[in-house]
Structure 1
Amino acid sequence: MRTLRLLPAALAASVLFAPQSASANGRFPLADQLVVDPSDPSHLVLRTTYGIVQSTNGGSSWSWTCESAVGYGGTQDPAIGVLADGTILAGIFEGLAVSHDRGCSWAFAAAPLESEYTIDVSVHRDDPSQAVAITSTGKGDNGFHVILAETKDNGATWSQAGNAILSDLIALTVDVTPSMPERVYASGLVGKALAPALERTDNRGMSWTRTYLDAAYAKGVPFIAGIDPTNPDRVYLRLSGTTADNTMPLDRLLVSDDGAATFKEVYAGEGDLLGFALSPDGKRVVIGGPKDGIRIADAVDLVFEKVSSVYTRCLTWTAAGLYACGNEFQDGFTVGLSNDEGKTFKPIYHLKDICPLECPAGAKSPEACEQSWPGIAATLGIEPPACGIVGPTTSSASSGGASASSGGGGDEGGCGCRLGSSPREEAVIASIACGLGLGLARRARRRRASR
Structure 2
Amino acid sequence: MKLQAMATSWRFLTCLGLLSAASVHAHGGLMETDSYTSRRGHPEDRLMGFTRGTLISRDDGASWRWVCAEAMGYGSWPPERYVWLSSGDILTATGKALLRSRDGGCTWVASTAFQDLWVSSLAEHPTDGSLLYVATGRPAMTNLLYRSRDGGETWTPTSLSREAVFSAVRVAPFDPKRLYLSGWKGYAMYLFRSGDEGETWEDLPQTFPAGLEGAYDLKLLAVSPANPDVLWARVSSRTPAGGILYTVLRSDDGGRTLTSVLAQEDPLVNMDVSADGRTTWVATYNHLFRGREGESMLPLSLPTGNACVKREGGTLFACGSTWVHEWALARSTDEGTSWEPLFSLRNFQGVHQCPAGTPVKELCTPLWPQLAQQLGAPVYPVPTDAGTPDGEVPPKPDGCGATAGSAGMAPLLLSILLRRRERRAR
Measured against the shorter chain, the TM-score band is 0.7 to 0.9
Secondary structure of 1:214's aligned partner: coil
Is residue 2:202 matched to residue 1:209? yes
* Structure 1 CA distance for aligned equivalents of residues 334 and 175 of structure 2: 31
What residue is the counterpart of 1:251 in the other structure? 246
What residue is the counterpart of 1:220 in the other structure? 216
Q: Shift in Å at residue 387 of structure 1?
A: 7.2
Q: Mapping of 1:299-318 within 5 angstroms?
A: 300-310=293-303, 311-318=305-312
**Is the 2:225–2:274 Cα contact (8 Å) retained in structure 1?**
no
Q: Shift in Å at residue 161 of structure 1?
A: 3.6
* Structure 2 CA distance for aligned equivalents of residues 93 and 342 of structure 1: 30
Higher mean Cα deviation, 217-226 or 350-359?
A: 217-226
- Deviations for 1:163-185, whole angstroms, at most 9, x for unmatched residues? 24211x11111111223323221
Secondary structure of 1:241's aligned partner: strand
Is residue 2:162 matched to residue 1:166? yes
Secondary structure of 2:159's aligned partner: coil
Q: Mapping of 1:105-116 within 5 angstroms?
A: 105-111=107-113, 113-116=114-117
Secondary structure of 2:280's aligned partner: strand
% identical aligned pairs: 25
- C-alpha spacing 1:327/1:260, structure 2 compared with 1 (3 Å): same
Q: Shift in Å at residue 270 of structure 1?
A: 4.9
Secondary structure of 1:330's aligned partner: helix
What residue is the counterpart of 2:175 in the other structure? 180
* Structure 2 CA distance for aligned equivalents of residues 149 and 302 of structure 1: 38
What residue is the counterpart of 1:118 in the other structure? 119
What residue is the counterpart of 2:135 in the other structure? 134
**Is the 1:95–1:114 Cα contact (8 Å) retained in structure 2?**
no
- C-alpha spacing 1:83/1:28, structure 2 compared with 1 (3 Å): same
Secondary structure of 1:370's aligned partner: helix
* Structure 2 CA distance for aligned equivalents of residues 151 and 255 of structure 1: 29
What residue is the counterpart of 1:333 in the other structure? 327
Secondary structure of 1:134's aligned partner: strand
* Structure 2 CA distance for aligned equivalents of residues 245 and 58 of structure 1: 47
Q: Shift in Å at residue 325 of structure 1?
A: 1.0
Q: Shift in Å at residue 74 of structure 1?
A: 2.8
Is residue 2:350 matched to residue 1:352? no
* Structure 1 CA distance for aligned equivalents of residues 361 and 116 of structure 2: 24
* Structure 2 CA distance for aligned equivalents of residues 71 and 377 of structure 1: 21
Q: Shift in Å at residue 91 of structure 1?
A: 1.2
What residue is the counterpart of 2:106 in the other structure? 104
* Structure 1 CA distance for aligned equivalents of residues 369 and 275 of structure 2: 40
* Structure 1 CA distance for aligned equivalents of residues 83 and 369 of structure 2: 28
RMSD over aligned Cα, in angstroms? 2.8
TM-score by length of 1: 0.73
**Is the 2:321–2:327 Cα contact (8 Å) retained in structure 1?**
yes
Q: Shift in Å at residue 194 of structure 1?
A: 2.6
- C-alpha spacing 1:130/1:302, structure 2 compared with 1 (3 Å): farther
Secondary structure of 1:260's aligned partner: coil
Secondary structure of 2:346's aligned partner: coil
- Deviations for 1:83-110, whole angstroms, at most 9, x for unmatched residues? 2323211212542110122201112223
**Is the 1:91–1:117 Cα contact (8 Å) retained in structure 2?**
no
- C-alpha spacing 1:57/1:279, structure 2 compared with 1 (3 Å): farther
- Deviations for 1:342-370, whole angstroms, at most 9, x for unmatched residues? 12211111112221000234333211323
* Structure 2 CA distance for aligned equivalents of residues 73 and 130 of structure 1: 28
**Is the 2:288–2:307 Cα contact (8 Å) retained in structure 1?**
no
What residue is the counterpart of 2:404 in the other structure? none
* Structure 2 CA distance for aligned equivalents of residues 177 and 84 of structure 1: 20
Secondary structure of 1:372's aligned partner: helix
2:378 to 380, 383, 386: 383
Q: Structure 1: which 5+ runs fail to align?
A: 1-22, 396-417, 430-451
**Is the 2:237–2:246 Cα contact (8 Å) retained in structure 1?**
yes
What residue is the counterpart of 2:30 in the other structure? 28
**Is the 2:250–2:258 Cα contact (8 Å) retained in structure 1?**
yes
How many positions carry a matched residue from both structures?
364
**Is the 1:277–1:317 Cα contact (8 Å) retained in structure 2?**
yes
* Structure 1 CA distance for aligned equivalents of residues 215 and 149 of structure 2: 37
- Deviations for 1:205-238, whole angstroms, at most 9, x for unmatched residues? 3333333432543323222111011311111112
Higher mean Cα deviation, 72-81 or 320-329?
A: 72-81
- Deviations for 1:330-349, whole angstroms, at most 9, x for unmatched residues? 12211111122112211111
| Higher relative contact order structure (alpha carbons within 8 Å, sequence separation ≥ 6) | 1
**Is the 2:96–2:120 Cα contact (8 Å) retained in structure 1?**
no
What residue is the counterpart of 1:366 in the other structure? 361
Q: Shift in Å at residue 420 of structure 1?
A: 5.0
Q: Shift in Å at residue 119 of structure 1?
A: 1.0
Secondary structure of 1:187's aligned partner: strand
Q: Structure 2: which 5+ runs fail to align?
A: 1-20, 384-396, 400-418
Higher mean Cα deviation, 99-108 or 278-287?
A: 278-287
- Deviations for 1:375-406, whole angstroms, at most 9, x for unmatched residues? 32222122322279xxxx999xxxxxxxxxxx
Q: Mapping of 1:213-292 within 5 angstroms?
A: 213-215=206-208, 216=210, 217=212, 218-247=214-243, 249-291=244-286
* Structure 1 CA distance for aligned equivalents of residues 325 and 30 of structure 2: 15
Secondary structure of 1:119's aligned partner: strand
What residue is the counterpart of 2:88 in the other structure? 86
